[in-house]
Amino acid sequence: MQEELNWKTFLDEERNKDYYIKLKQLVMQDSITHKVFPPTNEIYNAFKLTPISDIKVVIIGQDPYHEIGQAHGLAFSVRDGVKLPPSLKNIYKEIESEFGYKMSNSGDLTKWAKQGVLLLNSSLTVNEGMPASHKGYGWEIFTSEVVKLVNSKLSGIVFLLWGRHAQEYEKYIDSSKHFILKTTHPSPFSVKYGFEGCGHFKKANDILLSQGKQVIDWQI
């Protein structure tokens, strides 16, 4: 059983599948003519930082930030010292509103990942300056397999699904054994239509507490 709850085993299996071999070829082709983000050694950071057995919360983003120095393999997260992107700013505002404390200017969410928050992007790579440029390459299949694995092997996980894109993964989640919190995406275009005031971070902690799990310290 322990062998099954291991990202290495999962990743090794996926890398041998036809869709992944094609996906890798497409990303490599793009890397000849474009800068691809994040750097190769950081593409799987979410898995390095959050072992399967440690997962408590799953947050699904879209694709990595597409400007130099931003993306480092965690959804919504940017490297320390990089200006906060608008969606992350709105996430921070919501956390400040819910808990009453001040968030820092650092957008590095590694602290969350190390506490069991799987920060999973739908696409794990992107070309510089070209949002959604790797959409349809096969990453969505990969992300679906990740969600299916978490769904089948674990229980009591809190899935935060923000926006229609993330909510497409709801069909892979058994709501009788997991918890799904849905609202709009935190981007400036949709934040006012549900995300603002959603209470998701406190709600997630309340769910964890009800299961006797350690809550997430959301403060950065």
The residues annotated with a catalytic role in the active site are 63
| Half-sphere exposure of residue 161: CA atoms within 13 angstroms, side-chain side | 19
Q: What is the dihedral of CA 101, 104, 105, 109, to 10 degrees?
A: -100
Helix (H, G, I), strand (E, B) or coil at 37: strand
Alpha-carbon span 172 to 73, nearest angstrom: 23
- Nearest CA-CA partner of 104 in 121, 88, 120: 88
7: Cβ contacts below 8 Å, ≥ 6 apart? 44, 47, 51, 52
Joined tokens for residue 79:
């490297």
